[in-house]
Amino acid sequence: MLRCAKKIIACCLAVLCLASVLPQSCFATEGGKLNLQETVYAEGSYGVYNNKNTENGTEPIYEEITVAAAAYTSKENAELKTGEYCGRANAVMWENGEGSVTWRVNTPRAGLYAVALDYCPIEGKGSAIDLGIKIDGEYPFSEASSVTFPRIWKDNSDKMPMDENGDEYTPEISEVFEWSREYFRDVKGNYGNISYEFYFSAGEHTVTVVCNNETVALESIVLLNKKAVPSYAEVAEKYKAAGYKESKSEIKYIQAETPYRKSDQTLRAQYDRNSPLTQPFDASHIRYNCIGANAWKYQSQWISWEIDVPEDGLYTLGARYRQETIKGFASSRRLTLDGELPFAEAECIDFAYTEDWDLLLFGQENEPYLFYLTAGKHIMRLEVVMGRVSEIVGSLQNVNDTLMKLYRRIITITGTSPDPYRDYSIAESIPDMVEILEEARRILRTEKKNLETVTGNKSVNTSTIQTLLSQVENVIKTPDSLITSARLNSFSSNISSLSSWLLDLKYQPLTIDYFILKAPDDTLPRCNAGFVENFISGFKNFIASFVQQYGISGNSGNKKITIWLS
C-alpha cells in the first residue's frame, strides 16, 4: 500500500515538473474551454497584439495626425539630406538606405492608429523598400520589423516594338519616381492584407522608422485610420439620389498588356496564340496581348491602367481573363479607381477558376456593379489579395500551428522513436491534449465545410484537410495509438502538408487580355471562338511554321560585336 502511494506521488511530481517547463502560455484555457486566440499565434505576432487590443476594448481613432519628415528629432546611422525632391520642397532623402530616424508624435486620445508614409523611392538597386516601425523604441509586434513599400515601374512605350520578322517583343521598362502614400500593413496576406493598427496612449510618443534596405525619400508620417467604405447598395442609392444617368457610349476596350503603372518589374506582357479572339491576335506572328499569369500571383502586387472615359455617366466594368492554375479556387483582386475603393465589395473581386478564357462583368450574382465616372482619364488598379478564403486560411493556419506545438510537446515526452514496450499514458502526461484535439477537430470540420462552400468542390480542394482530420479523430478516440514511430511521423507529415497547402493558397495567379468599359444596356462581346475560327487559326499557324524564322529575332544591322569564350 505504501509502495503504491509512493508511485502515485512520484507520478504527480513528474507531471508537475513537466508542466513547469512546457510553454503553458501557448496552450492556455479559459473557464475550462480552450482559447484558440491564445494558442494559435506565435508569441509577439500581430495576431496576439491585435487580440490583446480587442480584448481590452481599444477603439480605432479616426483623427489625422501628420508629422513632417523634416521634423525628426534623432537619427542613428542614417545619412539624411533635406531639400526639394520630385516636386516636394521639404523632403528628407535617406541616402544610405540603413539606420533609423525618430520623430515625436502627440496623440490627443488613446486608441488604435494606422501609420502611413508619404514616400518616394530614390534610385537604388531596384528592389522593394523594406522598412520597420518602432513605437517608443520597441517593435510592437514581430511583423512591424519588416514591411515592404513598392517601387513603381512603367513600360517605356504603350506600343509593342516589332522586329524585322514582324514579331513583337516587350518594351523596356523604367522606374517611376513619384510620391505615394502607403500604410504599414500586412503585405503577405497573413491577416487579410489589412493595415496594421498600433496602440498609442494619450500623450507624447516616439515613432522610429528603420530602413532595412534601399534608399527612399520621406515627406511626412501620418497617423490615420481609414473610415469604413459604404456598401454597393448604399452607393447605388446615392447614384439615384444624385440623378446619375446610365451612359450610352459605345463599348470601350482597355488592353491589359499596356498598363499605366505596376508594382513589380517582373510584371511584363505575355502572348497567347491559342484563341483567335485574344486582342490583338496573329496566327503566324508573336503578338503580346495579355498580362499577368504566374508572375502576378504574390500578395500585394498591383497593376494599374489608364481609362479614357468618353462622357459622364454610369458604366459597367469587366475583364476577359483566364485562371487555369489553381483548380477550384478563385484569384482575388482589390479594385480601386483613382486610388479609392468605390464601395466595400470592391475590396475583393473574384476571378473564378476556368480552363479557357472567360468574360467577367464585375458584380455580384446576376447584378453587375455600376460605376459613376466623369469624362476624362481615370486610373483603375487591381491588387492581389487573399479574398474570400482569407479567414479560412487564417483559421486553418492557426490550427496547424497549434497541432505542431502539440506534436512538439508529445515528442518532448516520447522522443521521435517511442519505446514500443513502454506505456507513456500520453493523455495523462499532457492533460489538455484531448481538449486541444477536439477543438482542432471542430475547426477543421467547420473550415472544410466553408471551403467546400466557397469552391463548390468536395474532393480535390479539401483532401489535405480531410487526411489530417481523420488522424485527429482517431487520436481523440485512443490517444495512445499515436505513440508509435510511424504514426508520429505521419502526424508530423500531415501537419506539414497542410502548412504547405495553405502557403500555396496565398498564390493568386491571373491572366488578363483586356478590360471592357460599357453602357449597362450594351451586350457583352464574344469570349471564345467557335470550331471554324479555331480551325482556320490553327491551319494558318501550321502553314506559317514552314516559312516563319522562329530561330531569328531582332533587327539585323551592320554593328559588330566581340564575343569572348573561356
Q: What's this model's pTM, rounded to 2 decimal places?
A: 0.82
Cα–Cα dist 284/282, whole Å = 6
- Residue 244's φ and ψ, nearest 5 degrees, are -65, 140
- Other Cβ atoms less than 10 A from the Cβ of 191: the count is 19
Per the listing, cell 488598379 goes with 381
Q: Hey, what's the torsion of the CAs at 101, 104, 107, 113, to 10 degrees? A: 0
Cα–Cα dist 502/443, whole Å = 15
Query: What confidence score (pLDDT) does residue 263 get?
Result: 96
Angle, CA 65 vertex, CA 99 and CA 93 arms, to 5°? 30
The answer to whether the CB of 77 falls within 8 A of the CB of 173 is no
The answer to whether the CB of 213 falls within 8 A of the CB of 97 is yes
**DSSP per residue, 273-310:** -S-TTSSS--SSS--EEEEEETTS-STT-EEEEEEEE-
Question: Residue 399 contacts by C-beta under 8 Å, 6 or more apart in sequence?
Answer: 36, 40, 440, 443, 444, 447
Partners of 131 in the beta sheet? 147, 211
Polymer length in residues for the chain? 566
Q: What is the pLDDT along the chain (566 residues), one digit of tens a residue?
A: 434 444 444 444 433 333 333 333 233 333 333 333 433 566 788 988 998 998 888 999 998 999 999 999 999 999 999 999 999 999 999 999 999 999 999 999 999 999 999 999 999 888 999 999 999 999 999 999 999 999 999 999 989 999 888 888 999 999 999 999 999 999 888 887 889 999 999 999 999 999 999 999 999 999 988 888 999 999 999 999 999 999 999 999 999 999 999 999 999 999 988 888 888 988 888 899 999 999 999 999 999 999 999 999 999 999 999 998 888 788 999 999 999 999 999 999 999 989 899 999 999 878 999 999 999 999 999 999 988 788 788 888 889 989 999 999 999 999 989 988 888 888 899 999 999 999 999 999 998 888 888 776 655 578 889 999 999 999 999 998 898 989 999 999 999 999 998 888 889 999 999 999 999 999 888 888 777 777 777 777 777 767 666 555 555 556 677 777 76
Which DSSP helix (H) or strand (E) runs through 444?
helix 433-455
Burial readout 449-477 (b: 16 or more C-beta within 10 A, e: otherwise): ebbbebbeeeeebbebbeebbebbeebbe
- Residue 106's φ and ψ, nearest 5 degrees, are -110, 115
Cα–Cα dist 152/509, whole Å = 20
Cα–Cα dist 495/510, whole Å = 29
Cα–Cα dist 199/180, whole Å = 24
Per the listing, cell 499605366 goes with 260
**DSSP per residue, 362-414:** SEETTEEPPEEE-SEEEEEEEEEE-GGGHHHHHHHHHHHHHHHHHHHHHHHHH
Query: What confidence score (pLDDT) does residue 543 get?
Result: 73
Cα–Cα dist 290/513, whole Å = 4
Pairing status of strand 100-107 against strand 88-94: unpaired
Which grid cell sits at 70? Answer: 523634416
Cα–Cα dist 535/246, whole Å = 40
The answer to whether the CB of 360 falls within 8 A of the CB of 307 is no
Q: Hey, what's the torsion of the CAs at 536, 542, 547, 552, to 10 degrees? A: 110
CA distances from 510 to 88, 211, 286 (A): 36, 32, 21
* Three-state secondary structure call for residue 151: coil
Query: What confidence score (pLDDT) does residue 17 get?
Result: 39
Helices (H) and strands (E) in the chain, counts: 10, 30
* Helix/strand/coil percent split, the chain, to 5: 30, 30, 40
CA distances from 78 to 67, 99, 105, 133, 552 (A): 19, 5, 20, 15, 50
- Other Cβ atoms less than 10 A from the Cβ of 127: the count is 11
Going through 374-532 in order, the beta strands assigned E by DSSP cover: 376-385, 510-518
